[in-house]
Amino acid sequence: MSEEIERSTSRVRFPGISPRAYEHPVDRGALAVLRAVPGIGPVLKSVAGAFTERGERLGYLATSIRVGPKQYPALDRLRNETAATLDLDPVPELFISRNPQPNAMALGIDKPFIVLTTGLVELLDHDGLRFAIGHEMGHVLSGHALYQTILMRLMQLQHSLGWMPAGYWAVRAVIAALHEWYRKTELSCDRAGLLCAQDPAAALRVHVALAGGMDLTQVDTAEFLKQAKEYEQVEDVRDSVLKLIRTWPLTHPMAVVRAAELQRWAASEEYRAILSGDYRRREDDHASSTFTDDLKEAARSYKSDAAESEDPLMKVVNDLGGVVADAAGKVRGRFSGFGSPSGS
């Protein structure tokens, strides 16, 4: 315990950190388009109001264990420490729900709370749980719960439109786009989890465990990361299409790909700069036109990924960055007369 206390006090905290400091550029770009529409925040909140946030919380209050000083105190310390690391106040409530499936989620809009399943708690070690809880704190800080709720509502709606092909496929297209965005939010919040854990090896162990690692002494992490390289290096465009088919309905990136993405960020200058205190503050978020910046960063990210990818299909579409950049200007011009982009 004394060793853990010493490590806790040695971790860096990030006063006033903006979620933009760690968010994946494509995640921010997708949100920028949504936020560009005047009044979109209140509209989306009214749609999200179709589900009862109070009822959702009451459901977990009645069926789960609410973490606190007298219930799972070790997890309560992690809850408070990760919130303090990201300067998140008030500290979201944390519930432990009986479910053998390893999972975690951030729910709610005005007062978000976090849920961990018993499957996840039993699977991860102490540092892995710090990473997982920090990941969910990232969702809360980034305001992802609202848009996740919209995705959930649309997924329910698609079943009621199944008898009407045109409506069904229109909704499926929107869901596919939101799934792509939400997969990027997972990459963003893995970064938030790493900022809380400040231990890339612990984060990697989480991804190994989620991929099927039961006894981690039997898994070589270098070999595990080679799987990501092999996945990215397919030579046949048919394999590329199969990857798209498997990926588009998922809300989370595939574990091996996700692990490689985070390890690349852990080795980046951007991550080291944040640890040294050089990061964007929330007070700076309103100081400039973030809309154009977000779209440009998203375009650069798409173009960079396409240029560096060894996937044959990605090489075919390596001009996507330019297309996104052009679209950014057109969208910005269309809405510039209606007022500034609204936040969530």
Q: What distance in Å separates the CA atoms of residue 278 and residue 256, rounded to the nearest whole number? A: 30
Looking at the DSSP assignment, which residues form a beta bridge with residue 104? 116
* Domain ranges across the chain: 2-287
| pLDDT score of 117 more than 60 | yes
State the DSSP string of 192-245. Answer: HHHHHH--HHHHHHHHHHHHT-SSGGG--HHHHHHHHHHHHT--SHHHHHHHHH
What does 12-48 look like in DSSP terms, one character per residue? ---TTB-GGGTS-HHHHHHHHHHHHSTTHHHHHHHHH
- The structure tokens listed for 81 are 């420490």
Can you tell me the mean pLDDT for 252-260?
A: 80
When pLDDT is cut at 50, 70 and 90, the band that residue 2 belongs to is very low
User: Does residue 116 have a pLDDT over 60?
Assistant: yes
Instruction: Share the mean pLDDT of the chain.
Output: 75
Q: Is the pLDDT reported for residue 313 higher than 80?
A: no
Residue 89 has pLDDT above 60, yes or no: yes
In tens, the pLDDT along 148-168 reads 666 666 666 655 555 445 455
pLDDT tens digits, 271-309: 999 999 999 999 988 755 555 566 566 555 555 554 555
Residues 6 or more apart whose Cβ sits within 8 Å of residue 336: none
Confidence at residue 280, expressed as pLDDT on a 0 to 100 scale: 94
DSSP 106: E
Q: How confident is the model at residue 73 (pLDDT cuts 50, 70, 90)?
A: very high
Q: How far apart are CA 144 and CA 244, in angstroms?
A: 24
